[in-house]
Amino acid sequence: MPPKPRRIWSLDDLSDYVNETLCYHEQLEIGCFQLTRRTLYRNEQPCGIYFCLHGPRQVKLTAIWASDRNVLYFYGATGERYQTVPLPERPSMESLAEPVAA
């Protein structure tokens, strides 16, 4: 069963949900592959996060969180969007000011 949106209070919670969802879609074991994240900017202001799961055989699965809409967009290995998830709560934006790797 795919992970359902849950209370997401922080960027770590958001990263965990993205990791679980991407792994579920490609039938990968959760926690076995590196998930990186980069802050996206518009007019020098943070506007979201780009997530990339580095899977086996150089497969890359991605997700984008649009902070203004509070929506996650999930993309498969071919780059096609396969899921859009509106989040029930907005994660804290405090740590968006600096790019981080998770």
Q: CB atoms < 10 A from the CB of 65, how many? A: 27
The pair of structure tokens assigned to 84 is 């859009």
In order along its 102 residues, the chain shows pLDDT tens digits of: 566 666 777 888 899 999 999 999 888 898 899 999 999 999 999 999 999 999 888 999 999 999 999 999 999 999 999 999 998 888 876 655 554 444
CA distance 20 to 23: 5
Q: What is the pTM (predicted TM-score) of this model?
A: 0.83
